Amino acid sequence: MTVRGLALVVVMLSAPPAPALAQPAITAVRVSGAGPIADPAARVWKDARPVKVAMLAQTVTLPNLAEPAVKELSVRAVHNGGWIAFLIEWTDATLSDRLLVDSFGDQVAVQLPVDVKAAPPSPMMGHVGGRVNIMQWRAALQHDIDKGAPSIKDLYPHAWTDVYPDEVLGATDARPYAGALGIENPVSRGVASPVLDQMAEGWGSMTVKPDQHALGKGEWKEGTWRVAITRPMVSDDVNAPRLVPATRTAVAFAVWEGGHREVGARKAWSPWIPLVIQAAPPKAGAR
């Protein structure tokens, strides 16, 4: 391991398991219905009380920004017994969903400890032995899903190329010319969901999981993002938490303002916040 890697581990292990500070708990309110709650305009959100989450600059590891743009998120949480969901809202004057060398995309992420019984691991993407599940919604993925991935012609209308390998070679032979797409890098390939279901155990270890369970949707209107992120409460994924009604765990958030060139470690984050998963309502007629 490199010296820097070692230093990071030491810092992470010594980081306190982040007590809740003064941040009020977020309650995932039991709502009726079944299946994913992926629509930011769904009626169920009316049942949940928005909680303000103060966002801090990530300044522990390099690189970082002393003043990330987003200072506060407004978060609501609900669950229907099968799926848990978060509605995250924040002000962002610029819609950033196009990726060019100098254009970065808006993003927001929900982090849950994988082991809900243990004390939460380092709030900063977990630590070795303390895994976290990070569901990251990306505006650029949302754009690809809603409007299609931008081609070179979309990005540069006057571009001209005589021939691409995939126009003259078979799919297999053309793969080596497709860079990260040819080897199915999960951030390159087309996705069905704008939310990447990932796990991490410390900085630099973020990994997109082979099985994707997270869904969601983001809408930007009049300077505000409203993003819903949802996942099954229980799955066969060993790198996801088992979320059971009438228990408590923790949740944390990260947000990136693409227009402010926030990406990767250049972000705003929150410490762990207690997450209460509301019990199922008593069955009608039960005593």
Partner 1 sequence: MAKVFNWQLGREIDFPYEVERPEKQFAMIFDTNKCISCQTCTVACKTTWTQGRGQEYMFWNNVETKPYGYYPLGWDVNILDALGVQAMDGPVYQGKTLFDAAPTGEVILGYVPDDRDYAHPNIGEDDSTGTMPRGAYMTAPHMQWMFYLPRICNHCTYAACLGACPRQSIYKRREDGIVLLDQSRCRGYRECVKACPYKKVYFNTQTKVSEKCIGCYPAVEGGRQTQCTTSCIGKIRVQGFLGKPDKPDADNPLDYLVFIKKVALPLYPQFGLEPNTYYIPPVHVPPAYLRQMFGWGVERAIETYKRAHEDTKLLAAMTLFGATPEISHYFRVDGDSVVGYDAKQAEIVRVPLREPAVVRELYDIKHKVYRTNIT
178 in contact with partner 1 (CB under 8 A): yes
State which H helix or E strand residue 133 sits in: strand 132-138
| Token digits of residue 6 | 């070692």
Contact track, partner 1, 73-92, x by CB under 8 A: --------------------
Q: How far apart are CA 217 and CA 220, in angstroms?
A: 10
Helices (DSSP H) in 169-209: which residue ranges?
171-174, 179-182
Give the one residue of 83, 86, 137, 203 binding partner 1; rule: CB under 8 A. Answer: 203
164 in contact with partner 1 (CB under 8 A): yes
Give the one residue of 3, 34, 171, 286 binding partner 1; rule: CB under 8 A. Answer: 3
Return the SS3 of 268: strand
157 in contact with partner 1 (CB under 8 A): no
> Are the C-beta atoms of 55 and 72 separated by less than 8 Å?
yes
103 in contact with partner 1 (CB under 8 A): yes
Number of other residues whose CB lies within 10 A of the CB of residue 211: 10
**Stretch touching partner 1 by CB under 8 A, among 19-27, 42-50, 84-92, 178-186:** 178-186
CB nearer to partner 1: pick between 23 and 103: 103
CA neighbor of 43 nearest in space, from 35, 52, 26, 31? 31
**Stretch touching partner 1 by CB under 8 A, among 18-26, 35-43, 61-69, 271-279:** 61-69
Q: How many CA atoms lie within 13 A of 147 on its CB side?
A: 9
Closest distance to partner 1 from the beta carbon of 231 (Å): 21
Neighbouring-strand partners of residue 77: 28, 86
Category of 23 on φ-ψ map: left (φ > 0), alpha (ψ -120 to 50) or beta: beta
10 in contact with partner 1 (CB under 8 A): no
**Stretch touching partner 1 by CB under 8 A, among 164-172, 222-230, 234-242, 247-255:** 164-172
**Residues of the shown chain interacting with partner 1 in the complex, contacts defined by CB under 8 A:** 2-5, 59, 61-66, 99-104, 140, 149-152, 155, 159, 161, 164-166, 177-181, 183-185, 187-188, 203-204, 206, 261, 263-265
